[in-house]
Amino acid sequence: MKNITLEVSDTPRSLHFDDIYYNVDGGLAEKYYVFIDGNNLPQRFEKLEKNFNLLELGFGTGLSFLLTAIEFNKFDSKYELNFTSTELYPLSFEEIDLALKKWDDLYSNKITKEFLMQYKQKELIKDIKIKLNNVNLHILVGDARETLKSINEKQNCFYLDGFAPSKNPIMWGEEVFSQVKRLSAENSTATTYSVSRLVKDILTFAGFDYSKRKGFGKKREMIIGIKK
Ligand SMILES: C[S@@+](CC[C@H](N)C(=O)[O-])C[C@H]1O[C@@H](n2cnc3c(N)ncnc32)[C@H](O)[C@@H]1O
């Protein structure tokens, strides 16, 4: 099934949700800014005292995952990163390969190469598990409202990246966020681009305090949540 179309400057747009996965103009830098930097991950990875559990809402092209795996590997940690993600419409190998090719440095990184090699061999109809050094990727294939019920490990960090609330209200609804509430460890953090009322309310529902930070580039603001 075709899931994406590539628009001007190769920006991937979902055919299911009519929204973009990221802006190709600075999309990689923006993912790094909002999710990795926004959650203070380099500092947290450096000081790890146990394995780190991270949950992403929306695997998409795997760009945020790969940036995170590459960042984690810089620290040569004796601990593991357990990166769980959710995906209703897994992109085919060809679609992911095409989207990632845009980012020269990332695409030539050995972690990306190994990821693509393993992803190519996976059936995309059930859970996808990929191991890259001490990073364990688990993609829960299906609707996040259901698939999140199957996990129990408390998470230290959340990437809230399920498209804009106006395009995909389900990913910002109580069914998904009652799972985020259940799975969030004390002091876990969550970040996203959107600062809409709906996002603030659903973070509060899940037991997070939130604050605003300067957004990426020309964007005024983004949100960081911390679990009380
Ligand atoms: C903005 S994209 C994610 C971008 C991604 N993090 C990346 O690095 O490319 C949002 C993703 O959420 C997925 N999605 C939307 N609704 C979903 C649902 N109910 N359950 C699971 N995944 C969903 C979409 O298919 C899409 O791949």
Domain with 19 in it = 4-227
SS3 88: coil
Q: DSSP secondary structure string, 39-72? A: TTHHHHHHT-SS-EEEEEE--TTSHHHHHHHHHH
Q: Whose CA is nearest to atom 25 of ligand 1?
A: 89
Nearest CA to ligand 1 atom 11: 58
Residue type, 168: N
pLDDT in single tens digits along all 228 residues of the chain? 588 887 766 788 899 999 889 877 789 999 999 999 999 999 999 999 999 999 999 999 999 999 999 999 999 999 999 999 999 999 999 999 999 999 999 999 999 999 999 999 999 998 999 999 999 999 999 999 999 999 999 999 999 999 999 999 999 999 999 999 999 999 999 999 999 999 999 999 999 999 999 999 989 999 999 999
User: The domain that contains 79 carries what CATH number?
Assistant: 3.40.50.150
Contact 21, 59 (CB under 8 A): no
> What is the C-alpha separation between 62 and 83, in angstroms, rounded?
11
Pairwise CA distance, residues 189 & 191, whole Å: 7
Rounded to the nearest angstrom, the distance between the alpha carbon of 50 and the centre of ligand 1 is: 28
| CA nearest to 182, candidates 7, 37, 52, 55 | 55
- Ligand 1 first shell, C-beta below 6 A: 14, 21, 31, 58-64, 86-89, 143-144, 161-163, 168, 170-171
The tally of domains found in the chain comes to: 1
- Report the separation in Å between the CA atom of 161 and the middle of ligand 1, taken as the mean of its atom positions: 7
